[in-house]
A = this chain, B = another copy of it.
Amino acid sequence: MQRYKVTIAYDGTKFAGFQRQPDQRTVESVLTTAVNKMAKTLDGTIKVYGSGRTDAGVHAMGQVVHFDLPFNIPAEGVRRGLNSMFPLDLVAIEVETVDAEFHSRFTNVGKQYRYKISRKDFIDPFKRFYTYNFKFNLDLALIKAAMPDLIGMHDFSSFVASGNQSKDFVREIFDVQLEEHPELDEIHFIFRGKGFLYNQVRIMTAVLLEIGSGRRPVHDILRLYEVKDRLQAPLTAPAHGLYLEKVFYE
């Protein structure tokens, strides 16, 4: 038996999210079918484990999954085998053999998400599924002043969607960055943290955009930590601007 760590990218547009659901095309179900087909285990006994879920429409440039094969073949052969089975909106970028102690979800030490915002005054037809078009004025200095408020250990109760299943709302954010890409008319937010609550990145993004457009005081994030009330931060930036970019392991 050999365990494989696989780094995948997917265009989330036509997936009903990562997690397997009855009668839905999800990343997990497409992966599971492909791996079992490649291994010729037609009963679908090989399970695929992801580092975590992504929602419908959310993309990934570096999601990590793992599975065990009953035989040992070279990593590059697994990568080619998977890619020959995958639809074109899913690709295996890298495959590595790993020890049985490796677990995509339980041994990761952090994740990096990227949120892409298009700054054109019209929705670019080529980016309509891949960026959130925000055409209103933004003062980036306000956003830069607010971003450090997100870094560190905080109670993110005001930043969690109602479907969240955990009871502990304290999460640690390592770093938040703003990237300007004038040649693309885009700005990107990059969030790195130990782990994130359901919709947390999209809610943080919406709050930063409200701050940048002057509709929320620059240090309102500190108040939101105190009030622990999602109704005070009711907006969620749309799924199609969000990318799971990296999953970190020791």
Contact of A125 (CB < 8 Å), options: B88, B122, B125, B126: B88
- Kindly list chain B residues whose C-beta atoms are within 8 Å of the C-beta of A130: 126
B89 pairs with A125, CB closer than 8 A: yes
- Kindly list chain B residues whose C-beta atoms are within 8 Å of the C-beta of A9: 124-126
How many copies make up the complex?
Answer: 2
Separation of A11 and B90 alpha carbons in the complex (Å): 21
Q: Is A191 an interface residue (CB 8 A)?
A: no
- Kindly list chain B residues whose C-beta atoms are within 8 Å of the C-beta of A92: 122
A83 pairs with B125, CB closer than 8 A: no
Q: Is A128 an interface residue (CB 8 A)?
A: yes
Q: How many residues of A are counted as interface, with CB atoms below 8 angstroms from the partner's CB atoms?
A: 18
A11 pairs with B126, CB closer than 8 A: yes
The interface centre, meaning the residue of A9, A10, A122, A123 with most chain B CB atoms within 10 A of its CB, is A122
Q: Is the interface of A mostly helix, strand, loop or mixed?
A: mixed
Q: Is A204 an interface residue (CB 8 A)?
A: no
Write out, one digit per residue, whether chain A residues 97-141 have a CB within 8 A of any chain B CB (1) or not (0): 000000000000000000000000011111010100000000000
Q: Is A91 an interface residue (CB 8 A)?
A: yes
Q: Is A59 an interface residue (CB 8 A)?
A: yes
Separation of A141 and B98 alpha carbons in the complex (Å): 41
Write out, one digit per residue, whether chain A residues 48-59 have a CB within 8 A of any chain B CB (1) or not (0): 000000000001
Q: Is A145 an interface residue (CB 8 A)?
A: no
Contact of A90 (CB < 8 Å), options: B10, B88, B89, B125: B125
A10 pairs with B125, CB closer than 8 A: yes
Separation of A124 and B62 alpha carbons in the complex (Å): 12
A88 pairs with B123, CB closer than 8 A: yes
Q: Is A93 an interface residue (CB 8 A)?
A: yes
- Kindly list chain B residues whose C-beta atoms are within 8 Å of the C-beta of A128: 11, 88-89
Separation of A9 and B91 alpha carbons in the complex (Å): 29
Shortest CB distance A33–B (Å): 17
- Which residue of B is nearest A61, CB measured? B126
- Kindly list chain B residues whose C-beta atoms are within 8 Å of the C-beta of A122: 83, 91-93
